[in-house]
Structure 1
Amino acid sequence: MTAPLSTSAPPAAVPRQVRWLLRLHRPALCAWTVLVVGLAAALLWLWGPLTDASAAAWQQFDTDPACQGPAPCGYDQDAILRYKDVYQYTTLAVLAVPFLVAAWSGAALTGREMETGTARLAWTQGITPVRWLAARLGVPAVLVTAGTGLLVWLHHLAWSAGRGRIDSAEDWYSLTTFYAGGPLTVALALAGLAGGALLGLVLGRSLVALCGSVLTVAALWTAVHLALPHLWPTATVTSGRRAYPEHSGIKTGEGIITPDGAHVPVSSCVSDAQQACQALNDRRHATGFWVDYHPYAHYGPLHLVGAALLLALTAVLAVAAFRLVHRRTTGRRPARTRATGPKAAV
């Protein structure tokens, strides 16, 4: 015989549920704090002393005549390599945050409690299933937003400090740099949180939900990366046959210009750098070349549009999780059957 599910909860039950949630997931909370504080300290180190030392080394290398020849010169190469290593490791760590959040959400936040039956037990202890899920999504969402938002902001500051000062600094449109320094990563972490919680409720097995959550984040990231360049109007630059359009950013298309001014996309010979291409473009009757791309001015809009789509998807996943919990806890009662004959007394 199972205890009836609670249909209402006193106001004091919600703060108690939050405190219990933080106590239950104290190891994860401690690990999250260590991760955020450690990465923030590394990014601050990168933003200040490492960037200054690397920039000074590059300036010496570019201006010292002794460094322009084959003979070795006395510039600080270790500072440049140290900056490069710390930048690479911190960038990968920031990009790993959505996967870590999704894995924890699917495995520990809901999957383990559904697998062990503690979720249903909690629903009989003065907390409604909807408020139970709201606490499990709301509290981590606040912590994930604050922590991930701080990390991407510091990463963008660290990258901006080296822009134009360090010759080997990553371009803004580099795959890792672009995503690690903007709100898209924050939105992806929240989508991983909601998606992992939903998978944990659906599958009811922590390990399977963990794997599924990580794969879901990977699929979402791939879809966003493929669709993002087409979600905002591009800029177009053109050139004649003797030059190639100068641009710097995310290229979305390129091709030739016909005599009537039409822009025709082509996949090869978009310049006259080789004689074979020059002959081919003569047969195409090309008068110039064009490139569609996103300049640095589109950095913010691209991030905001992508983050808005991911947040909308996060809301859909959260609503689906609430509907699933509501359906499981307020399902139809089994229909009564009328027994007849001697078997009725059994």
Structure 2
Amino acid sequence: MNSLTRTSATRSHKSAGSDGSAAAIRRPRLTGITWLVWRQHRAGSWTLLAITAVCVAWLVYQRADLTNQLSAHGWPLASSDKWLSGVHVQRFQLVSLGFGFVSIVLGVFVGAPLLAGDLESGTAKLVASQSVTPSRWLATKLGINALVVVVCTGALSVAFGRWWGPVKYEPTVLGWSDGSAFDNTGPVPVALALFTVVSGAAIGMLLRRTLISMVVTFGLAVVVQLVWHLQRLHLGHVVTITTHHGISGDVFPRLPASAVELDRSMISGSGQSYGWGTCAHEASEKVCAQKYDLVGWSVDYLPISQMSGMQWFGASVLFALTAAATVFIFVRGRKRIV
């Protein structure tokens, strides 16, 4: 009887163990250094994810409201002067302005304290005394936080792009070549945020103090934004259109819809270019044309069809810089992490 009882109990225990193992397989959990890093940063990560979810939901609602307003005014069949009254231009501008600070905020409050906080508090020294290698610790810290940053910025980029999509070709709402649209759609928000976050982490590793790292990261993020603003239009391939029907206003070349004009000049019969203000001090347009043998116009522009290519080209440069900063963190971290 006791043998049967023991056998039954053993079988029950094995059955329970099997059920427990199956449940464990069905419900994977974080363990080791991954669990430790997630627990350390989960408050900030959940906050970012929650804010992103609210912003995305609001943008989805705004797109639905926009399409309803546009449809009520005859969009997309009617001309833009009829349905533009249903567009809240200031709302687009304010939201795009706010999103422009996302990469700076993430770099300062996520990237800069990421390693500097552990180095300053001594947590890094504690981790180094365990069986976890510095490379694995750095990979986990950067990987988890980078994943959260990519998810948040990627979701905002998609949601903002869908909201802006119906009025994309109307420059009076948002110019596609301006930072308000170019930097908030496609891969650009993700690339800018990743670069500032990883750069902030590298700065924190070097300075080893949280507050000063945040200040320096802020300065770097602002410089990155300025450089990006100055170089944005250089990411595209300039298209030139010329005419040979005179220089009067009625024969000025027509550019494609939403094209961004970069430069214009007048050309002579010999092919020499003259600035568009050449005739400003001449007696008349006809006299000027005869004096310089002007036969037409030359206009440099960027079509909106290049927007996606320009974004991916610029993002690839930022991704390469992010990879370089990551390599620097690992190389220095393996040599001197504490």
TM-score (norm 2): 0.78
Q: Cα gap change, 1:281/1:147 in structure 2, threshold over 3 Å: closer, same or farther?
A: farther
Aligned residue type for 1:212: V
1:24 corresponds, among 27, 36, 40, to 40
In structure 2, runs of 5+ residues without a counterpart are: 1-29
Going from structure 1 to structure 2, the CA distance change for 1:181 and 1:273 (only over 3 Å counts) comes to: farther
Shift of 1:197: 0.5
Q: Is the 8 A contact 2:203 2:213 kept in 1?
A: yes
Which secondary structure does the structure 2 equivalent of 1:113 belong to? helix
TM-score of the superposed pair, with normalisation by structure 1? 0.76
CA shift in 2, pair 1:228/1:107, >3 Å: closer
Question: 1:214 — aligned with what?
Answer: 218
Q: 1:282 to 1:312 in 2, by over 3 A?
A: farther
Which 4+ runs in 1 deviate beyond 4 A? 272-277, 279-284
The correspondence of residues 180-199 of structure 1 with structure 2, limited to 5 A, is: 180-199=184-203
Q: 1:58 to 1:137 in 2, by over 3 A?
A: same
Distance 1:253 1:84, change over 3 A: closer
Residue number in structure 2 paired with 1:251 = 261
- On the 8 A contact 1:43/1:90 being kept in 2, the answer is no
Q: Is 1:41 aligned to 2:64, yes or no?
A: no
Instruction: Give the letter for the 1:254 counterpart.
Output: R
User: Is the CA contact 1:238–1:245 (under 8 Å) kept in the aligned structure 2?
Assistant: yes
Alignment of 1:94-243 (within 5 A): 94-163=99-168, 169-239=173-243, 240-243=246-249
User: Contact conserved, 2:45 with 2:148, CA < 8 A, in 1?
Assistant: no
Aligned equivalent of 1:289: 297
> Does the CA-based 8 Å contact 1:114-1:201 persist in structure 2?
yes
Which residue identity lines up with residue 310 of structure 1 in the other structure? Answer: L
Which of 268, 274, 277 lines up with 1:269 in the alignment?
277
Distance of aligned partners of 1:274 and 1:314 in 2 relative to their CA distance in 1, 3 Å threshold: same
How far residue 312 of structure 1 moved from its aligned partner, in angstroms, is 0.4
CA distance in 2, matches of 1:276, 1:150: 58
How big is the alpha-carbon RMSD for the aligned residues of Structure 1 and Structure 2? 3.1
Would you say the 8 A contact 2:161–2:186 is kept in 1? yes
Structure 2 equivalent of residue 321 of structure 1 = 329
- Whole-Å separation in 2 of the counterparts to 1:323 and 1:295: 43
Evaluate the alpha carbon distance shift between residue 86 and residue 38 of structure 1 in structure 2; reply closer, same or farther with a 3 A threshold: farther
The 3 A distance-change label for structure 1 pair 182 and 287 is same
Distance 1:38 1:329, change over 3 A: closer
Paired AA for residue 162 in structure 1? V
Of residues 281-290 and 142-151 in structure 1, the stretch that sits farther from structure 2 once superposed is 281-290
How much does 1:265 deviate?
6.6
- SS of the residue corresponding to residue 302 of structure 1 reads helix
What code does the residue aligned with 1:143 have?
A: V
Give the conservation status (yes or no) of the 8 Å contact 1:237–1:246: no
Report the 3-state secondary structure (helix = DSSP H, G, I; strand = E; otherwise coil) of the residue aligned with 1:172. coil
Read off the aligned partner of 1:19 and give its amino acid letter.
W
Shift in CA distance, 265/52, structure 1 to aligned 2, threshold 3 Å: farther
Of Structure 1 and Structure 2, which has the larger fraction of its residues in helix? 2
Distance 1:28 1:281, change over 3 A: farther
CA shift, 1:277, in A, is 8.3
Give the % identical residues.
Answer: 26
CA distance in 2, matches of 1:29, 1:159: 27
The equivalent of 2:5 in structure 1 is none
